Amino acid sequence: MLSNITIFDFETTGLNPEQDRVIEMAAIRVRNGEIVGEFQTLVQHQMELPAKITEITGITSDQMRSGMNETLAFKMLRVFMGDSMLVAHNAAFDLQFLHWAMQRIGNKTFENPFLDTMTISRERHPYPHKLTDMCNRYGIVLDGAHRALNDVRGTLELLKAMHKEKSVEQYVNSLGYLNKYGPPPWVPSYTNLFGTDNRYA
């Protein structure tokens, strides 16, 4: 499972993948269980960041304006990802932002297999399932949550811990969504999409 994967994370201006924008991206490439590369950058936009986003991430409007050009950032990210399996915590969120950015930039999407550690977390453990909660559950130190590279490192360690506990292979290309919110508006065509509910005990 760790032979060819890219763990990635986006910090964004909001929750709408068609309208909001990525302001920071990070990714770690793993081959045969070893980290072979890291990619991280702020993404340039001229808009003013909502105060809540700065509060959560620590990223300011001035910092964002000095980031990498959006088109270049996503092109570099896609080259970095290659044909690897994409891994994220709450992958439905990040996959949608990746898709819509690629649509804007080149009218394309991606066909990589993917793995969502949030889906695995909901299947195996009671609520809560945020990355910080899951890292605490497995004794993983997560410094600086809500900065992309820190979250990527935490997700990698979480994936390794859950896979060691029990193989996660059955979850490839599967996304579980909470029934009370309904399915995400976009998922890859090859997704095994299913509704689920949080367990509290």
2: confidence class by pLDDT, cuts 50, 70, 90:
confident
Cα–chain center distance at 17: 13
Is the pLDDT reported for residue 122 higher than 90?
Answer: yes
Cα-flanking dihedrals φ and ψ of residue 86, to 5°? Answer: -90, 130
Under the phi-then-psi rule, with left for phi > 0, alpha for psi from -120 to 50, and beta for the rest, what region is 178?
beta
DSSP letters, 23-55, are EEEEEEEEETTEEEEEEEEEB---SPPPHHHHH
Q: What's the pTM?
A: 0.96
**All residues at 6 or more sequence positions from 106 whose CB lies less than 8 Å from its CB, including other chains:** none
Return the sign of the alpha-carbon dihedral for residues 184, 18, 81, 41: negative
The whole-number pLDDT of residue 147 equals: 84
**How many percent of the chain have pLDDT more than 70?**
100
Rounded CA gap, 57 and 21, in Å?
Answer: 14
Which residue is associated with the tokens 């990589």?
112
pLDDT digit string, tens, across residues 139-183: 999 887 778 899 999 999 999 999 999 999 999 999 999 999 999
For domain 4-196, the CATH architecture is: 2-Layer Sandwich (3.30)
Check residue 187 and give its pLDDT. 98
Number of Cβ atoms within 10 Å of the Cβ of 93: 18
Q: What is the mean pLDDT of residues 35-57?
A: 93
Domains of the chain, residue spans:
4-196
For residue 67, the model assigns a pLDDT of: 94
Residue 201 is predicted with a pLDDT of: 82
Amino acid 161 reads A
Map tokens 């793993």 to a residue: 30
